[in-house]
Structure 1
Amino acid sequence: MDWWMMLLPFAAVVLDLLLGDPRSLPHPVQAVGKIADFVEKRFRAFGATKRNGSLALCIVILVTGGVVGAGVSLPFLGAVLSLYFAYSGLALGSLLKEGDSALSAVQYGTIEEARQAVGMLVSRDTSDMNRDDLYRSLAESISENSNDGFVAPFFYLALGGPVLLWVYKAVSTLDSMWGYKNERWANFGYAAARLDDVFAYLPARLSAFFMLVAARLMLIPTAFDMRGTWNRTTEDAKLMDSPNAGWPMAMAAWIVSRRMGGITKYDGVAVNKPLLGPVTGTWDADDIRLLLKLVRISCVLGAWVLWLLALWIQAAIW
């Protein structure tokens, strides 16, 4: 079983790239969401305070980690469940597939088809976007989700197996459900948002680093000055409200030499997001194709590095 657990991250990446999301099977994220809804209703009844939100967060984490831990500990079936939990926690395959599908809709479909396709991938309002806006939104989503959907969960899979992976996924799911800065969630979702910032802190910076190394291997001219590109990414990432989201986005913007950020609508409200990357330059279909290739190579490269590092650490401990 020890050897199987050592090979598990590699096997999970292969399945993720080959199969994408297991849509024919119940996805664990859906279960985490239902648990979160159940727990939130019970604790919110005592007040939407930071304390109650923190307690609810702890309960969801403990239940998620406990269920996954119990499953992977089962004799014989545990190996199968370990692979399923590891594979279903990664989303690079689906990100690349859905990104390519949305790109085709923006490039060749009607504007309404394009808006609908991109709207499936982003949380912003796409109803009145033109094609330039859709390309930019698609680029932002692909680059940010390269970390959220793959590098960060793989980091925790390599570090602590399926249990730690799904502890991270539980925190990430709660942040997406509770981590809003509005009256309903500002206090109750505070702990979930802050803990997600902590969990994603190192992976976000690693995702930017792997992207830069991949761009250098791909001989993309902007990556030849690796130190300069890293420094520009660092400065841009600081402009974002999130301490983590800006890292893969800014790196992608500087590597492809296209701007991200600007006026973006959420639920009909226009938000002026910080500008990342060069001050000029709009995204087009060729740029998105380059970004998809960059994300694929950087994530696979990062997975290899993290997996080998985890194996080295395990060998040193033994």
Structure 2
Amino acid sequence: MDQLTAVFLVPVAAVLLDRFLGDPAGFPHPVRIIGKGLDLYESIVRRLGVNLRAAGWTAVVLFSGLAWFTVSTFTRISYLGPMLAVYFAYAGLALGCLMREAKKVTAFLDSGDLSGARRALSMLVSRETAELDESHIRRTLAETVSENLNDGFTAPLFYLALFGPGGMWAYKAVSTMDSMWGYRTDRFRDLGQGGALTDDLLAWIPARLTAFLLLFTGGRLGLNAAMAKSRFRADAVKMESPNAGWPMAATAWLLEGQMGGPTVYFGKVKEKPVLGPEGHPWTREMLRTLFALTRKTGTRTALVLIPALGLIRLLFFV
């Protein structure tokens, strides 16, 4: 595979496949393999009684290194390498799947099927959805779409464009670890520390890029980007996560809808910081605008990251 194909055409093909295919149901996915590996690793270290914090940091090195080595090895196979590179790059992006699943939730809401909307939403979030009313379903959906624009698209595309599919999947291994173990519960507080802190570090730049690209795109869509620019930073730093608040706060002020407030995790109510104008519920029209904003921001993100980081990759890493 020649350098220009590896650096530019593979990410472009991945973005297009993600946009139009999403994640086909039942199709084998590397994240599921990583998840099974993490489950097995957890059972082993708990059975051995080793220090869980040390085991968590060891897992960061082990799984990210294995992911990078495995993917890089497959993409160097003669003849099959370019196709496998496109597959791994495409499989690491999740914006198409996110938008498809989000629209399922709104379709249930539009038909008046709250139980269906709750079930569909539960596939996107870790919080409990069984008791959510329509207003809280819409708010939760807005939160997860805006946060996952970075987690599921900008951040993996950032590492794909800069380091290729191997680097992307090293990041995805850490991200998967954080999504599975990154909870401050008795079970995961120590084991998940390494993955959570590493994910925070790796997503720091992409999260801020996502926020500013949301603001830029929102201005082009006629949203109140001037107000959002002046207010979103103060809200972004309220979150426990150093990254999640940036795209969420930018979106909340662009669409003028409240995010945060009481949220149930694992049977306990957690008061999350309020982002955006307090007391402004999310409507069907606001969610439709959010979906358009998210898709257009994803497109602009690809147009910025692929050529800019691809050039850096050509100069320094290829």
| Corresponding position of 1:298 | 297
Contact (CA 8 Å) 2:182, 2:188: kept in 1 or not?
Answer: yes
Alignment match of 1:208 (pick from 208, 211, 229): 211
Alignment of 1:1-318 (within 5 A): 1=1, 2-6=3-7, 7-44=9-46, 45-220=48-223, 222-223=224-225, 225=226, 228-314=227-313, 316=315
Residue type at the aligned position of 1:30: R
TM-score for both structures, normalised by structure 2: 0.95
Q: CA deviation at 1:146?
A: 0.7
**C-alpha distance 235-182 of structure 1, shift in aligned 2 (>3 A):** same
Q: Is the 8 A contact 1:39 1:59 kept in 2?
A: no
Structure 1 CA distance for aligned equivalents of residues 26 and 4 of structure 2: 29
Q: Contact between 2:181 and 2:191, CA under 8 Å: does it hold in 1?
A: yes
Partners of 2:76 and 2:23 lie apart in 1 by 24
Structure 1 length-normalised TM: 0.95
How far apart are the structure 1 equivalents of 2:131 and 2:304?
Answer: 42
Q: Is the 8 A contact 1:22 1:88 kept in 2?
A: no
Q: Which amino acid aligns with 1:213?
A: F
Q: Is the 8 A contact 1:40 1:56 kept in 2?
A: no
CA distance in 1, matches of 2:299, 2:11: 12
AA paired with 2:4? W
Matched AA of 1:187: D
Mapped to 2, the partners of 1:310 and 1:111 lie a distance apart of 43
Cα deviation, residue 155, structure 1: 0.7
* Distance in 2, Cα, partners of 1:58 & 1:215: 38
Runs of 4+ in 1 over 3 A off after TM superposition: 314-318
Structure 1 position 19, deviation (Å): 0.6
Query: How many angstroms does 1:316 deviate by?
Result: 4.8
CA contact (8 A) 1:16 1:91 kept: yes
User: How many residues of Structure 1 are paired with residues of Structure 2 in the alignment?
Assistant: 314
Deviation sequence 1:234-285 (CA, Å, 0-9, x none): 1101110010111111110000011100111112211111000012210011
Cα deviation, 1:94-116, whole Å, max 9, x if unaligned, reads: 11111111111122232222222
Task: Measure how far apart 1:315 and its partner are.
Answer: 5.5
Segment drifting more, 288-297 vs 230-239? 230-239
Is the CA contact 1:9–1:86 (under 8 Å) kept in the aligned structure 2? yes
**Does the CA contact (< 8 Å) of 1:43 and 1:53 recur in 2?**
no
Q: Which runs of 5+ in 1 are unaligned?
A: none
Q: Which amino acid aligns with 2:175?
A: S
* Residue-by-residue CA offset, 1:59-106 (whole Å, 9 max, x unaligned): 111221111111011111111110000000001111111111111112
Structure 2 SS opposite 1:261:
strand
Contact 1:259 1:280 in 2 (8 A): yes
Partners of 2:139 and 2:263 in 1: how far apart? 10
Cα distance in 1, alignment partners of residues 57 and 312 from structure 2: 33
Q: How far apart are the structure 2 equivalents of 1:140 and 1:297? A: 17
C-alpha distance after superposition, 1:153-172 (max 9, x if no partner): 11111111100100010000
The Cα of 1:308 is off from its aligned counterpart by 1.5
Q: Residues 315 and 192 from structure 1, CA distance in 2 versus in 1: closer, same or farther, beyond 3 angstroms?
A: closer
Query: Comparing 52-61 with 81-90, which one deviates more in the overlay?
Result: 52-61
**Residue type of the alignment partner of 1:274:** P
Q: Distance in 1 between matches of 2:50 and 2:187?
A: 11
Structure 2 segments unaligned to the other structure (5+ residues): none
Superposed displacement of residue 57, structure 1: 2.2
Report the AA paired with residue 265 of structure 1. Answer: V
Q: 3-state DSSP class of the match of 1:275?
A: strand
Closer/same/farther in 2, CA of residues 282 and 68 from structure 1, 3 Å limit: same
8 Å contact from structure 1 (residues 158, 306) kept in 2? yes
- Aligned to 1:219, what secondary structure does the other structure show? coil
SS at match of 2:128: coil
Contact 1:53–1:191 (CA under 8 A) maintained in structure 2: yes
CA–CA distance in structure 1, aligned partners of residues 310 and 179 of structure 2: 32
Q: Which moved more, 1:83-92 or 1:104-113?
A: 104-113
Q: Deviations over 1:174-218 (max 9, x none)?
A: 011111112221112111110010011111111111100101111
